[in-house]
Amino acid sequence: MKSIYLDNNRATKIDPQVVKVMETLYNDNFGELHALHFAGAKSRKIYNEALEKVYASIHANDKDTITFTSGAAEANATILYSTYLNYILTGRKNSIIVGEREPESIMQMVDFLRSQGVRVHTIPVNGDGVIEHERIYDYITPRTALVSVSMVDGESGAINPIEQIAQACSKYEVAFHTDATHAIGKIPIDMQDIDISYLSFSSETLHAPAGCGVLYLKEGCDLLPLIRGNRSQAEALRGGPLNLTGIASLGKAVELASDALDFEMQDTKDLRDELEEKLTQIEGVQSLVPWALRSPNTLLLAVEGVESEAMLYELNRDGIAAYSNTVYPYGEWDRKALPSAMGLDKKLDHSTIGFALSRFNTQEEIEKVVESFTNAVEYLREFMPKDQK
């Protein structure tokens, strides 16, 4: 049985071209970045090339700073700790504003900061599943230390109104951070257009191996490193030897993803749209976030009368990997379920199924998914009496 992977918002298949880059690094002797000898020189060349590609992929200014971390989680933690130590503990600022559905790395840090006495405001999502950016004006003051809202929600694919939030932040001169892990390679990111102070993203959703991330700082923004031990500017914001294989593969991956934005992402979007159209024709199946507000590879459905894990189990039996965040105790089950957050029927809370496509998915795979999904819905609804659906 051929397996079909549709869980690309959490981990992705490594692109063969990225594998080639990694093979070169694994099969040769690359020295430490600061070494004077030939092996160090080879490493520096690889590092500089990757850095160049990352700058280009988000259209960052040369005066902005980009540093590599172990992932978006570390980048997010660095930004929040640094804000806390630099601005809140010193009494210069007093509060933080975050979106309601931020990744765990932000939510758990925010919980910690709250326990330390920091005032934390959360902005809810509206009926479309995107952050209600007007609500930011309820909380924002010049004493706000940081606003953090992710660019795209990893579960629903909802594209948050980053431009409007960035505008509000510039108006009050407040630092703005966005986690772009689920946006990079899916939607264009142009740092020339939006006024973002900090940006972070990870390698695992880019068809590169997990374990490498990017932390972007706008010119003029400051940051205290979480891990110290730098020997050069490259390590100034994150000490310790750099993960050269990770960096090289991330560099290749962002390059491929940027190239793919034009054509391949459009193909992925067409496949996703076809999947969406066919699946939402089934009675009682609805797509949670409107088409225009969603990243091109993601489809999150609510299926009446079908429990998420039961559906995942049936799909898995057919070799299809999908996802759901409402399966206790696996995954991010402890956050408020999206249907409830959007104000839909609470009965849908345990009935969400997500599909995140990638450029490696094919037409045949989508047809197979439609067939399996339709059969599974029919089978699982037999377990429910009509009066409960």
Partner 1 sequence: MSKNEMMMDSFWENYPFKIQMLSEKPKNNGSLTEEDAKNLEGSLIGCDYGSVESGEWIRFYWVIEPATKRVIACRYQMFGSPALRATADMAALLCRNKNPKEIEKIDYKNLEYFLRDHPNSPALPDTRRYLINFVLRAIKATVHKVQGIEAESSPIVCECANISLDDIKATIKNFKIDNLKELADLTKAGAICKECISHDTYKAPREYYLDDILKETLKEMEAEGTKKSAIPDKPFKEMTPEEKRAAIDATIDEYIRAMLVMDGGDMEILDIKENGVNTDIYIKYLGACSGCASASTGTLFAIEGILKQKLDPDIRVLPL
317 makes contact with partner 1 (CB under 8 A): yes
Question: Using the rule CB under 8 A, which residue among 288, 327, 357, 376 binds partner 1?
Answer: 327
Q: Toward partner 1, which CB reaches closer, 161 or 284? A: 284
Residues 269-308 that bind partner 1 (CB under 8 A): 305, 307
Q: Which is nearer to partner 1, 62 or 382 (CB)?
A: 382
Q: Confirm or reject binding of residue 138 to partner 1 (CB under 8 A).
A: no
Q: Can residue 330 be called a binding residue for partner 1 (CB under 8 A)? A: yes
Is the distance from CB of 7 to CB of 358 less than 8 angstroms? Answer: no
Between 109 and 357, whose beta carbon lies closer to partner 1?
109
Contact 368, 4 (CB under 8 A): yes
Six-digit token string for 68: 């590599």
Closer to partner 1 by CB, 291 or 313: give it: 313
Q: Nearest approach, Cβ of 202 to partner 1 (angstroms)?
A: 20
Paired tokens of 310: 């039961």
Taking CB under 8 A as the rule, does residue 137 contact partner 1? no
Using rule CB under 8 A, residue 324 touches partner 1:
no
> Is residue 284 within 8 Å of residue 303, measured between CB atoms?
yes
Name the minimum Å distance from CB 375 to partner 1. 14
Token look-up 């986690």 returns 179
Does 34 engage in binding with partner 1 (CB under 8 A)? no
Shortest approach of partner 1 to residue 100 CB, angstroms? Answer: 13
Contact 268, 318 (CB under 8 A): no
Report d(CA 139, CA 30) in Å as an integer.
Answer: 50
Q: How far is the CB of 107 from partner 1 (least distance, A)?
A: 12
User: Which residue, 101 or 218, is less far from partner 1 as judged by CB?
Assistant: 101
**How would DSSP label each residue in 112-149?**
HHHHTT-EEEEEPB-TTSSB-GGGHHHH--TTEEEEE-
Give the nearest distance from C-beta 95 to partner 1 in angstroms.
13
Shortest gap between Cβ of 324 and partner 1 (angstroms)?
A: 11
Residues numbered 59 to 118 that lie near partner 1 (CB under 8 A) are 114
How would DSSP label each residue in 251-303?
A: HHHHHHHHHHTTTHHHHHHHHHHHHHHHHTTSTTEEESS-GGGB-TTEEEEEE
Q: Could you check whether the bond before residue 161 is cis, i.e. omega within 30 degrees of 0?
A: no
The CB-of-347 to partner 1 minimum distance in angstroms stands at 5
Q: Which helix (DSSP H) or strand (DSSP E) does residue 168 occupy?
A: helix 162-172
**195 makes contact with partner 1 (CB under 8 A):** no
Q: Which helix (H) or strand (E) holds 38?
A: helix 38-57
Cα separation values, 68 from 83, 126, 301, 346, Å: 19, 34, 35, 41
Quote the CA–CA distance of 191 and 363 in Å, as a whole number. 34
Decide whether 50 or 376 has the Cβ nearer to partner 1: 376
Indicate whether 329 belongs to the interface with partner 1 (CB under 8 A): yes
Kindly tell me which of 197 and 372 has the beta carbon lying closer to partner 1: 372
Residue 293 CB, nearest distance to partner 1 (Å)? 26
DSSP states along 297-323 = TEEEEEETT--HHHHHHHHHHTTEE-B
Instruction: Among 316, 318, 321, 332, indicate the residue that binds partner 1 (CB under 8 A).
Output: 316
Give yes or no for residue 346 binding partner 1 (CB under 8 A). yes
Which of 42/335 has CB closer to partner 1? 335
Nearer to partner 1 by Cβ, of 177 and 350: the residue is 350
Q: What single-letter amino acid sits at 72? A: A
Q: Does 328 bind partner 1 (CB under 8 A)?
A: yes
Location of structure tokens 């299926």: 303
Q: Give me the residues that bind partner 1 (CB under 8 A), please.
A: 114, 305, 307, 309-310, 313, 316-317, 326-330, 333-334, 336, 346-347, 349-350, 382-385, 388
